[in-house]
Structure 1
Amino acid sequence: MPEPEDSATLYGQLLESARRLSFDLRDCEAGTGTDTDRHGMTPEWSPLYGTPMWIRMSEPERRRLTRREVSHFLGVAIWLEVALQIVLLRRNHSVDPTRADVKFLFNECADENMHSLMFVGAIEQLGERYSPLDRVMLLMGWVFRTFAWNEVAYGIVLAGEEVFDVMQRDWSIDERVAPAVRRSSYVHVVEESRHMSFARQKMRDHLREVSRVRRYVSAVLIAVGAHIIAKGLVNKAIYRDLGLDWRAAKLDIDRNEHHRMMFRRATAPLVEFLDREGLLNGVARTIYRKSNLL
């Protein structure tokens, strides 16, 4: 089925933008030594920022915490990008490869692989390691890449990309943050802006003729996916690895209004888009509130 004319025009524009404004990431793939003297991310994005536990920490301990946290955040980003490629390539395996949207998809997958290598390089330069995801995220990742249909796949990935976009805009300009993270954040923000435009348009295309029931179910599933991503960014293993009392840390995070405010800020563009497209029903709103995203 051919794409609507307005959609095909946008996909062509995005592909042209990719030709003009893409980065050579080969220099970002591998670390050139470690940087353990700076924060891994803007401190205000730490789930513990401003809590009693944070206040009791020394500045070196806070820097180590944010390096450990951002290494996990970047691991979640890699997990999400790999899952996206599996879903989209599977769904476009036998379609016309000369279509504008398919050509952009190929370009996007190339970007995503380079972004993953870039994030691995940043983790290594921080002197940290990859934190294995918990079992719930691993299970939901399998469900997502196996069963997610069109607007659900794009919607869940868009939720993750919107959160990272807002966070990384801050990280990219913060002198307190290690250069490897600042650089990778800047590149990711620039190149993911095209990917997010692509995802929004693909969702609009797929939603044009869906039934009210399917739209309702899709809205709820996108909210569930966003909830899993948001909650998955807080991993008890990284706090235990640092010798912190996980129960006390979790209590502080759960009570941290600053943390909730930052994540509501991060998802504001997503919520506005979903509301405009009829993907923010009562059940979905409840899930977003439980995720501190609304």
Structure 2
Amino acid sequence: MTTATDRRNADPLAWQTKKAAQLLVASAKHSYDPRVDVDWDEPLVEGKWFLPEKRISLYGTELYDSLSMEQKLLLSREELGSSLAAGVWTEHILLHLVSRYAYKRDVTSPQVQFALTEVADEVRHMIMFARLAEKIGVDFYPVSPRTHRNGLLLKTFAPVPALWAMLLLTEEFFDRFQREQAADETVQPIVRTVARIHVVEEARHISFARTELERFVPTLSKRRLELLRGFLANVVKTIRHDRYNPLMYERAGLDPKTAVAVGRNNPTGAVNGAYGAERLAPYYKKIGLIGGKSEKVWREAGWLKDQEA
């Protein structure tokens, strides 16, 4: 009996074309307009978190325990604000990369049409994240000059395999946390609504990125594969580094230098990293995107467990 995996392996391009056509139908049925599908007039609920408490960077430390409930809630708000700004930056980079993918390709193909649909999704998500930041009362969080410079290079010169690999890494990692937010009744309702919308639409992006990677990765030379592995390891490093934004601690009324040090040394960070990469890391290991020198970075980050060797 011929299985779906057999058919996919026999003709990856035909499989990808079929998948893209299915995702176009799903996009038509399950897309949202945050201008009308989010009740921006809904008041914030006193005492509700902006992130699940256990995902706050200082959770479990003596510094965190010394804070009042009001300070803890404020910290959760600022951490969400920082995360939303990172999300806007990431979506902006991805929409540039996906647009480049579509630029020289046949616009009548389902793959290109879905890519263009994905660009539209990313634009709406950027606006939705910005509206949420405004709603919860946080000021804009700028990306660091280094990240800004790297983004300019990335969106202009990154090869296609790097595009899908980065897209899947960032979206699947953060998707884990947003699914949790959407289901957590201790979190502000409007935050849960935004998370729910993002999860539904990003599921399509994740699915398409997987089909692209499964077609592209086997065609890479050993050298290009090592370069891609190294690139992804650097993305992991960047996510870990930028997670502890001094400005969010300062805005929450904490000493930023002290808070960054406590956050970086908090075992909760490794726990959260492992949670976010729980599905992603085994998949990347399986298709060859984790290996060689890059594997050490994933393990040091706590994103790859020993049993996944």
For the superposition of Structure 1 and Structure 2, which TM-score range results when normalised by the shorter chain? over 0.9
The 4+ residue runs of structure 1 with deviation greater than 6 A are none
Residues 174-193 of structure 1 show CA distances to partners (whole Å, capped at 9, x for unaligned) of: 22211221100011111101
Offset at residue 3 of structure 1 (A): 7.0
Identity score, percent: 27
The partner residue of 2:31 within 22, 34, 48 is 22
Residue 274, structure 1, aligned to residue 284, structure 2: yes
Q: RMSD in angstroms over aligned alpha carbons?
A: 1.9
Residue 124, structure 1, aligned to residue 127, structure 2: no
Please state whether the residue corresponding to 2:64 is helix, strand or coil: helix
Offset at residue 19 of structure 1 (A): 1.5
Please state whether the residue corresponding to 1:92 is helix, strand or coil: helix
Residue 9, structure 1, aligned to residue 18, structure 2: yes
Residue 201, structure 1, aligned to residue 211, structure 2: yes
Offset at residue 62 of structure 1 (A): 0.6
Please state whether the residue corresponding to 2:107 is helix, strand or coil: coil
Amino acid at match of 2:135: Q
The partner residue of 2:100 within 81, 90, 113 is 90
Offset at residue 119 of structure 1 (A): 1.1
Residues 40-81 of structure 1 show CA distances to partners (whole Å, capped at 9, x for unaligned) of: 111111111111111011111111111111011011111111
Give the gaps of 5 or more residues in structure 2. 1-10, 305-309
Residues 13-34 of structure 1 show CA distances to partners (whole Å, capped at 9, x for unaligned) of: 1111111222232225784376
Residue 71, structure 1, aligned to residue 56, structure 2: no
Offset at residue 205 of structure 1 (A): 1.7
Work out whether residues 39 and 190 of structure 2, in 8 Å CA contact, stay in contact via their aligned partners in 1.
Answer: no
Give the gaps of 5 or more residues in structure 1. none
TM-score under structure 2 length normalisation: 0.89
TM-score under structure 1 length normalisation: 0.94
Amino acid at match of 2:25: E
Work out whether residues 245 and 260 of structure 2, in 8 Å CA contact, stay in contact via their aligned partners in 1.
Answer: no
Residues 62-107 of structure 1 show CA distances to partners (whole Å, capped at 9, x for unaligned) of: 1111111101101111111110111221232132101111010111
Work out whether residues 36 and 64 of structure 1, in 8 Å CA contact, stay in contact via their aligned partners in 2.
Answer: no
Give the distance between the partners of 1:268 and 1:65, measured in 2 at CA: 26
Give the distance between the partners of 1:154 and 1:30, measured in 2 at CA: 33
Offset at residue 234 of structure 1 (A): 2.0
Residue 171, structure 1, aligned to residue 181, structure 2: yes
Residues 185-217 of structure 1 show CA distances to partners (whole Å, capped at 9, x for unaligned) of: 011111101100111111122223221111111
My pick for the range that moved more, 77-86 or 134-143, is 134-143
